[in-house]
Structure 1
């Protein structure tokens, strides 16, 4: 196997999988670890500009205990796509394993700098714990200057350019929609945007603890953010909500503003100016974070295709999500159920396919206010109990 793959590599017939197979084979036969690492590092040439492949290659390196090289590869991936969570999360595990202070500082600050929709709080907690342990270890070692640098890095990573908190009372539902300066729109349909915006919570009544919507933009573009507060359904106490706007949270000069938003059938529009936004380019948004997105063939990036959300409530009231699926454990049985005279003395059999076994069809429909799901289930049990044979006599 090793000789065959080496021959293919020598004759410029290389493929990424060859390096994986070659490394595994070399490990099985007991080749020296440096040789195996050299093979794995050669694989990286295929993924130099492909971040998912780089992350995969780094994870593969850890299997062969090449942790230091894997950590460097995670850092390269983060440089290419700073908004991806995987390089920081997996890099933090490696840095703690290697007890690498610079690696821990890089990975933990990267996790704290970004806010993702799923599980970001638990990762932020792990990053804060890693920085706290690093700071304590540096102080115990008498490295006070480095411990202070950890404090400064943590404080800088926790700065947020813009944070919006919409709260209300009652059993109704409100939506918070934010149109960002570069044309991206953050809403329940697109909770993560290329402009850095994240809708952290899409709340609704009647539970009071869920009557809030939160928008966060850790690094936002400078400019004007158009905020729409939309009444969707239900009763809102006092027909008003409270919007808390926080600019430059965590910095030396945060700006906090609270306002009461009267609710009507039309969207309430609030314009917020962000002069000191720290973002200068759009980020790449993962496909599964967009519920209404289109793929641009030229770049392969997923960017929201909604220029603006329609202000009419009818568009939301007609919102439906329907999915249908089926499963079957039976078989199709062809049976002759009759004959047909095709002229003269010739007869053509009539064949009918009869399903036999168990089949189940289900459909799920989400209500317009996204609070209920209606399930329709249709099971079918079919069985061929008896077959009659007969002869056709010539008339």
Structure 2
């Protein structure tokens, strides 16, 4: 069901994707990814200026719920195999809160902002952020980023000389895995995914991965690109895409 929802997002059918992710959350409330997926699509719908203008009350409710869902991921109690998704969700929550503060007046009736300890609040200064998710539980997919220097950043080499940092290696669950870099140097950043295998017995076949690439994270000139790819065979190393920094 997740892969269908991801495809719907790709073709702009956000209303249907929202309903699918609502259903997923109802079926799998024990998984933090269910909350994060729904938060992500609600936020994406809200970020469309035309949609906000046409549906102001629903838009306010959407962004309030998106922030609440991410807050739940950050502070919820999850299975140990899914730990550290909280760090990624906190980064995304701070981005939404900053964007709401920029775009909307504080007295909007339907906006509900979650409370955060000041030590956890604030947008990180990140010039490049790459996030990889996949659609199958109990599955090990690894994010690999090749920097312009030729250096490979991956699970056993999570830090680079230019400041690249890879999040914890998720060997089970749906991810996400995240690469961040504060000040990207000029050149090409190649994004790849390696499928190591799954502990889940399924008839669904290949694993579908979704990469989201941000530049100038949470800033006014932020850019975002989404890429979806199917991994057919265990030990596949697939080219997901690339981003050029000038």
Q: TM-score, normalised by structure 1?
A: 0.29
Hey, which of these two has a bigger chunk of strand by percent?
1
Q: TM-score, normalised by structure 2?
A: 0.44
Q: Rg larger in 1 or in 2?
A: 1
Query: Greater RCO between the two (CA within 8 Å, min separation 6)?
Result: 2
